[in-house]
Amino acid sequence: SLDEERSKENFDSFQEAVEVLQKHVEIFNKRDFLLKKLETYDGKIIRPMLATLTLYSKIFLQQLLLESDMIEDKAFDYYFHKYFPKAFVARFDEKLSLHPLKKEIVALIVSNKIINATGSTFISDFDELGADKFLMKIKSYLILNRLFDATDARKLLFASDFTISTENQYRAFISIENSIAYALNSMIELDGEELNFTTILSYKGAVQNILEKVISNHSIKFRGLDVELNFFLNMIGHIKFIAEILKIEFSSTHTFHEVIEAFFCISKKLKIVDFVMALENKELTHPNDMIIKNQLDTIVRSITAKATKDLLDFKRKDELLSIALDNYFKEIDFDIEYFNILEDRSEGLSDISIAVNYLTVKISK
């Protein structure tokens, strides 16, 4: 099970999920289910406990969705129709909309989809976010999942049982969810009107076209892997920044295509995706390392977003983006070769801090 693997790295989140269920699901009692203390074997939480957490996490999500009016939005008809055969929907679409259990069906489909993919830790930050923000998190997850065709990628992964190892499959599944989770932290900061299925999903073609240009070297290659899936697994590192791109587009006069093209032009030049992934993979040896790591991550995202805004304002009409970027770096006296050396030497958090400080000082001018 994927949650078994997740529990090795993120045990505390499972304990937090237990506390959320204890507090908000009336029929759940951690003592009755022997979940007062999560038991582990070989460093992983045992499956019977994980199964219970999965079940009640779905119940919790259903309960939350039924108490809100969010899923009454027409955009959620997409999930309602997933419950029925396509031919049935095509023939009885108008009558289906009057189904007396429509809301319950949508809540069931959505909760199953999310928890099956993310595991029970999806609910672990409910008390921290509060009900309204958490509903935004649910909506953001569904939008991101469709924007990047993550469901199709998972199907291809499931179908690759005999072509790649189980270990690599698990690693790929978890990478998908980690990348979406990373983007969620920023997505929930969008306001309700901006977090719109129709608007954001209309950018799907632009995202695909730009990333096909950006991703030239496939770093994740499993023998026998489908070409489409291989592209997706290399794309997920870029998924993380979609919220920053959306924020710029919503707050400026530039089109989404202009913003995403400029963002990833800068990202590619500065190797931001590789930089952030390297930061994520750094081993933490000091109690304050996690705080420093999160701060550095936040700074890198915000500085890259600022550089994108500045580049769009700096670029002259009809000027090639690559030329505009070179001229922008000259304007702010940014030494790209020196920055690349700092990146390459970044073995620990202190080394990464030096590179981030240089980036911040130059771009914040």
Q: How many CB atoms lie within 10 A of CB 141?
A: 24
Q: Are 80 and 89 in contact (CB under 8 A)?
A: no
Residues 6+ apart with CB under 8 A from 212: 231
pTM of the model: 0.89
Query: What count of Cα atoms within 13 Å lies in the side-chain half-sphere of residue 135?
Result: 16
Asked whether the beta carbons of 110 and 61 are under 8 A apart, the reply is yes
Token digits of residue 217: 């070297």
pLDDT for position 217 = 53
Contacts of 255 (CB under 8 A, 6+ apart): 249
Task: Please report the beta strands in the chain, taking only residues with DSSP state E, as ranges in sequence order.
Answer: 40-41, 44-45
In the block, tokens 């099956």 appear at: 116
Element housing 40 (H / E): strand 40-41
Dihedral angle of Cα 34, 36, 41, 44, to the nearest 10 degrees? 120
| Distance (Å, whole) CA 333 – CA 313 | 17
Partners of 198 in the β-ladder: none
> Within 13 Å and on the Cβ side, how many CA atoms surround 269?
24
Which residues share a beta bridge with 45? Answer: 40
Per-position pLDDT tens, the chain of length 365 = 788 888 888 888 999 999 999 999 998 887 776 666 776 777 788 888 889 999 999 999 999 999 999 999 999 999 999 999 889 988 888 888 889 999 999 999 999 999 999 999 999 999 999 999 999 999 999 999 999 888 888 888 888 877 788 888 888 888 888 889 888 988 998 888 889 999 999 999 998 888 888 776 555 555 556 677 777 777 877 888 898 999 999 988 999 999 999 999 999 899 888 888 878 777 777 778 888 888 888 899 899 999 999 999 999 988 999 999 999 999 999 999 999 888 888 778 888 889 899 999 999 87
Output the six-digit token pair for 199.
């608007």
C-alpha of 327 from chain center: 33
Q: Kindly state the tokens that stand for 180.
A: 């979406």
Q: What span, in angstroms and rounded, lies between the C-alpha atoms of 158 and 273?
A: 26
Scored b (16 or more CB within 10 A) or e, 323-353 reads ebbeebbeeeebeeeebeebbeebeebeebe
Cα–Cα distances in Å, from 69 out to 36, 65, 103? 33, 8, 9
Instruction: Pull the structure tokens for residue 273.
Output: 């995706």
